[in-house]
């Protein structure tokens, strides 16, 4: 009898997770219906955001999100790849790698809003000095901070996959007269390749959904950003910015943007998890 | 360069010692010389230092900072510790216990891996020639000539090991170091590789670590017996198997331990 | 061919060691931001780090401005934020940890059953949802029907964010236990429930504890979902159905009000130190546990 109740409660807990996820999806869809029925497909393709005339669309924010996240990914690669080689290849199992990886892990613990503050007070004046634009806000500033924020995610997973490359393979390459760099280029990186790729896809997914830091740094203008110095908004930052004062069609449009953001990050994560599953088999 | 003392030895070991932890010698002052175009088997119970000695010859231990190698190793009269380690490794090809074809490369690419890793560019005809020649010398050509672009990891265990031998031969080494190359293989694959090694002897000097006494008896010209890091006995295989000089060798060969 | 070997060897070795130093250089540069952030917070925040930070509520904009004009330090503290964070987090822990552990046990027991696989993927999916999206969903679920922002709404949002981490760590620490442990318990005549509750979960305790600590530290600094669920409050409030403040929300408020900007640093410093402290604590527990 006791066992039955116990087993039932385990099952109920699992079902709650299913119900929870289903209701999140249902909630997002039902709340955004209004926006989609009003603007149709144009919600995704037009670039107008006008509160006075109650006309809304998602394109500027989709573009803003993609632009900042892609740039962040590019900026983070030299650093996260170095960290993962340091931890997974050159200093695997050494004290030096323990220290580096724990400090980099701590970076992942810093709250988004603290990154935002640091970007605002420390990096923004630098942007102004460098002449990016008058205020310093914008795509470049946000993607630099985003890049720093995703380094831990990209590097720790990549290091794991690099460390998984069997020693026999590397020794095989050394025995043919390769240098360390050549072993890394021709054996370690190709062998860990798909895993590392998945790590970067996951990090990209992180960047897409980052909210506070970007909200504080991107400049919050509702246009499609065309360059590094441009201001804009991401999908996450427009929601954080405008949600408090929203109602009616605007609220529904923000929910629709939330739904789109959810779909994008979910598919990115799905791709990454799928690759990792294939690699681990 | 060729003014070496012993003109008919291709490899000489002088007081070679290796330690993994300070103060504990895994290989203890080994002296030996190897004649060209012979097969030498290194035997001994597990943990006796036979693989460790083999890996000293192509300076593999330098990949791990804790391992210290002392003494002199002369390859064609040249001290290998004064040479560039990459050059040493090219001259002394190595085959490992477990076949380790590079999983991201095709069969064709695996044979040429040494050239690729050393950034040596070859023309298409040179490449084809090397691949065919190397695969023929390990008797693998007929089996794989139609699937050269498949991944090396699709082959059977024995084929993979022969591919790895071809990969080492492709660089035309002076020496072939083999670390229990058949221990993970079935008897039929083992027999094929043994057959092939005897054929290869005409062109290469082979040193093979084995824990399989009958394998040593079948293919080797000379044998070394190691015990607790020391070289106990070194002579022709025939002599060692019929009239071992040392009591420990005799005990090992008669199965008293190991 | 021999010639090309020797002539390029030195160049190749040089290239290899250059790359090594490059990797070390970039890795060291990666360490800089964390220390820069800490340094900035300490440099600007230590002056405000006094007892009143923990005993008084946040000042109004007017109070701060008057203090600023007279050259005095900004009065008040962040008591309302600290109590709010404690309230929201405790509720979130109450929701997330029992549910997460139970689900984790289910996953560890059922391994490859279709329902378990679905739940595992959904948990991964939950983990990937941006925090702001969780915030707006909870706004629709809780804030709207109650027609008030509330601590409850905030804790639901944080609980959803904690769930996947708790589930994952429960499942993994249970899977690391030897199967003989379970069999031994059952062989002694223990019921399934007893074996799980009395033997398996206690054996996996440090794993569960570490996972839960990391989950807590991860959501502690969250601001975006709280922005749309708990709103903020100027007084200490223990009523879960009413708006409260939170440490991270106060940072946001201070950031938006130039008069209060002086309080940003001490608040951020406090929050960051607590989060990093929990992180380090969890790591050291995990490490000690692995050695055993």
Say if CB A257 and CB A58 are below 8 A apart: yes
The class that CATH gives domain C80-246 is mainly alpha
Spell out which residues of chain C touch residue B123, defining contact as CB-CB under 8 Å: none
ipTM: 0.93
Contact C5 B90 (CB under 8 A): yes
Q: Domain extents for chain C? A: 80-246
* Residue A195: band (very low, low, confident or very high) from pLDDT cuts 50, 70, 90: very high
Q: DSSP alpha helices (H): ranges in chain A?
A: 2-39, 42-45, 59-85, 95-109, 112-118, 124-130, 139-163, 167-175, 180-183, 189-209, 212-217, 235-242, 248-280
Closest to B253 in 3D by CA, of B238, B241, B237: B241
Contact B114 A177 (CB under 8 A): yes
Q: What is the DSSP string of B181-238?
A: TTTTS-HHHHHHHHHHHHHHTTT-EEEEE-S-HHHHHHH-SEEEEEETTEEEEEEEHH
Asked: is B11-100+173-253 a CATH 3.40.50.920 domain? The reply is no
Residue A3 has pLDDT above 90, yes or no: no
Say if CB A174 and CB B89 are below 8 A apart: yes
Mean pLDDT across the stretch B240-245?
Answer: 90
- Chain C interface with B: residues with Cβ < 8 Å: 1, 4-6, 8-10, 12-13
Contact B119 C12 (CB under 8 A): yes
Residue B3 has pLDDT above 70, yes or no: no
Q: Domain extents for chain B? A: 11-100+173-253
- Residue A82 touches partner C, C-beta closer than 8 Å: yes
Contact A114 C41 (CB under 8 A): yes
Residue-wise pLDDT tens digits, A91-142:
988 899 999 999 999 999 999 999 999 999 999 999 999 888 888 999 999 9
Closest to B200 in 3D by CA, of B173, B223, B182: B173
Say if CB A64 and CB A223 are below 8 A apart: no
A 35-64: CB under 8 A from C: none
Alpha-carbon distance of A203 to A151, in angstroms, equals: 8
| Regions of chain C short of the pLDDT cut 70 | 1-7, 290-292
Q: What is the pLDDT of residue B4?
A: 42
Q: Which of A21, A79, A120 sits opposite C122 (nearest CB)?
A: A21
Q: Domain holding A80: CATH number?
A: 1.10.3720.10
- Chain A interface with B: residues with Cβ < 8 Å: 166, 168-179, 182-183, 186-187, 190-191, 193
Q: Containing domain of residue A150, as a range?
A: 64-250+267-280
Residue with tokens 């993609």: A66
Q: Which of C1, C4, C9 sits opposite B87 (nearest CB)?
A: C9
* C-alpha dihedral (C80, C84, C87, C90), degrees to nearest 10: -130
Alpha-carbon distance of A102 to A98, in angstroms, equals: 6
Spell out which residues of chain B touch residue C8, defining contact as CB-CB under 8 Å: 119
Calculate how close chain C gets to B90, using CA atoms only, in Å.
Answer: 10
Nearby residues of B183 by Cβ (< 8 Å), 6 or more positions away: B97, B210, B211, B212
- What's the pTM value of the predicted model, to 2 decimals? 0.89
Alpha-carbon distance of A239 to C288, in angstroms, equals: 43
**Residue A187: inside a domain:** yes
Q: How many domains are there within chain A?
A: 1
Calculate how close chain A gets to B257, using CA atoms only, in Å.
Answer: 29
Say if CB A162 and CB A93 are below 8 A apart: no
Percent of chain B predicted with pLDDT > 70 = 96
Q: Which chains pack against A, by 3+ Cβ pairs within 8 A?
A: B, C
**Residue A189: inside a domain:** yes
- Residue A229 touches partner C, C-beta closer than 8 Å: no
Residue with more model confidence, B34 or C192: B34
Q: What is the pLDDT of residue C291?
A: 47
Which two tokens mark B151? 């991944």
Taking all residues of chain A, what is their mean pLDDT, rounded to a whole number? 93
Q: Which of A106, A179, A262 sits opposite C16 (nearest CB)?
A: A179
Alpha-carbon distance of B165 to B147, in angstroms, equals: 18
**Residue A237: inside a domain:** yes
* Residue B65: band (very low, low, confident or very high) from pLDDT cuts 50, 70, 90: confident
Environment class of A5 (CB within 10 Å of its CB; exposed 0-12, middle 13-18, buried 19+): exposed
Residue B1 has pLDDT above 80, yes or no: no
Tell me how crowded residue B200 is: count the other CB atoms within 10 A of its CB. 18
Which two tokens mark C53? 């930070």
Residue-wise pLDDT tens digits, B35-45:
999 999 999 98
Q: Which helix (H) or strand (E) holds B32?
A: strand B24-34
């Amino acid at each position: 009898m006791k066992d039955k109740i116990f087993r039932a409660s385990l099952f109920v807990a699992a079902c709650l997770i299913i119900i929870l996820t289903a209701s999140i999806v249902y909630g997002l869809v039902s709340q955004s219906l209004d926006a989609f029925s009003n603007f149709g497909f144009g919600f995704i393709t037009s670039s107008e955001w006008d509160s006075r005339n109650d006309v809304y669309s998602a394109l500027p924010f989709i573009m803003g999100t993609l632009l900042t996240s892609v740039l962040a990914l590019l900026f983070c690669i030299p650093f996260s790849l170095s960290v993962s080689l340091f931890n997974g290849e050159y200093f695997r199992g050494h004290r030096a790698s323990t220290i580096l990886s724990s400090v980099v892990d701590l970076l992942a613990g810093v709250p988004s809003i603290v990154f935002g503050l640091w970007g605002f007070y420390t990096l923004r004046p630098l942007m102004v000095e460098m002449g990016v634009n008058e205020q310093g806000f914008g795509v470049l500033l946000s993607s630099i901070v985003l890049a720093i924020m995703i380094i831990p995610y990209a590097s720790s997973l990549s290091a794991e996959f690099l460390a998984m490359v069997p020693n026999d393979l590397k020794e095989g390459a050394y025995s043919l007269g390769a240098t360390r760099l050549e072993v890394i280029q021709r054996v370690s990186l190709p062998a860990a390749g798909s895993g590392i790729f998945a790590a970067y896809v996951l990090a990209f997914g992180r960047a897409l959904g980052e909210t506070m830091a970007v909200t504080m740094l991107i400049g919050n203008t509702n246009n499609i950003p065309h360059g590094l110095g441009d201001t804009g908004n991401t999908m996450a930052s427009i929601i954080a910015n405008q949600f408090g004062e929203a109602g009616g069609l605007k609220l529904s449009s923000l929910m629709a943007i939330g739904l789109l953001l959810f779909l994008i990050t979910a598919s990115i994560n799905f791709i990454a998890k799928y690759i990792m599953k294939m690699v681990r088999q | 360069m060729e003014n070496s003392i012993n003109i008919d030895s291709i490899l000489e070991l002088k007081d070679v010692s290796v330690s993994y932890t300070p103060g504990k010698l895994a290989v203890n002052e080994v002296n030996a010389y190897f004649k060209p175009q012979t097969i030498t088997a290194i035997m001994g119970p597990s943990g006796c230092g036979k693989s460790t000695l083999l890996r000293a010859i192509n300076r593999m231990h330098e990949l791990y900072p804790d391992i210290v190698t002392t003494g002199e190793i002369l390859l064609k009269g040249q001290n290998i510790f004064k040479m560039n380690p990459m050059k040493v490794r090219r001259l002394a090809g190595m085959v490992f216990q477990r076949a380790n074809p590079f999983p991201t490369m095709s069969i064709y690419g695996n044979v040429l891996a040494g050239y690729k890793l050393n950034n040596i560019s070859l023309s298409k005809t040179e490449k084809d020639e090397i691949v065919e020649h190397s695969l023929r010398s390990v008797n693998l050509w007929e089996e794989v000539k139609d699937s050269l672009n498949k991944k090396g990891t699709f082959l059977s265990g024995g084929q993979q090991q022969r591919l790895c031998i071809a990969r080492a031969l492709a660089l035309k080494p002076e020496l072939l170091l083999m670390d229990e190359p058949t221990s993970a293989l079935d008897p039929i694959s083992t027999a094929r590789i043994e057959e092939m090694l005897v054929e290869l002897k005409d062109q290469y000097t082979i040193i093979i670590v084995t824990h399989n006494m009958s394998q040593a008896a079948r293919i080797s010209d000379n044998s070394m017996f190691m015990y607790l890091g020391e070289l106990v006995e070194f002579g022709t295989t025939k002599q060692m198997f019929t009239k071992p000089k040392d009591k420990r060798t005799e005990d090992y060969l008669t199965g008293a331990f190991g | 061919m021999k010639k090309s070997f020797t002539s390029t060897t030195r160049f190749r070795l040089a290239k290899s060691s250059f790359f090594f130093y490059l990797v070390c250089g970039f890795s060291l540069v990666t360490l800089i931001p964390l220390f820069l952030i800490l340094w900035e917070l300490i440099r600007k925040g230590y002056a405000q780090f006094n007892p009143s930070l923990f005993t008084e509520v946040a000042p109004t904009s007017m109070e701060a401005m008057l203090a600023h004009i007279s050259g005095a330090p900004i009065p008040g503290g962040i008591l309302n934020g600290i109590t709010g964070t404690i309230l929201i987090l405790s509720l979130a822990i109450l929701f997330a940890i029992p549910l997460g552990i139970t689900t984790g046990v289910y996953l560890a027991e059922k391994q490859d059953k279709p329902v378990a696989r679905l739940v595992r993927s959904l948990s991964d999916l939950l983990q990937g949802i941006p925090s702001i999206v969780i915030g707006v969903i909870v706004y629709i679920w809780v804030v709207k029907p109650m027609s008030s922002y509330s601590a409850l709404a905030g804790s639901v949002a944080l609980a959803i964010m904690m769930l996947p981490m708790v589930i994952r760590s429960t499942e993994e620490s249970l899977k690391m236990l030897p199967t003989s442990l379970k069999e031994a318990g059952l062989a002694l005549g223990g019921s399934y429930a007893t074996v799980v509750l009395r033997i398996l979960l206690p054996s996996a305790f440090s794993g569960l504890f570490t996972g839960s600590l990391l989950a807590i530290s991860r959501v502690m600094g969250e601001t975006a979902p709280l922005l749309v669920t708990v709103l903020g409050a100027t007084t200490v409030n223990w009523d879960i159905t009413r708006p409260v403040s939170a440490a991270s929300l106060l940072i946001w408020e201070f950031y938006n009000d130039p008069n209060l900007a002086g309080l940003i640093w001490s608040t951020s410093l406090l929050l960051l130190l607590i989060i990093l402290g929990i992180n380090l604590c969890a790591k050291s527990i995990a490490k000690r546990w692995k050695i055993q």
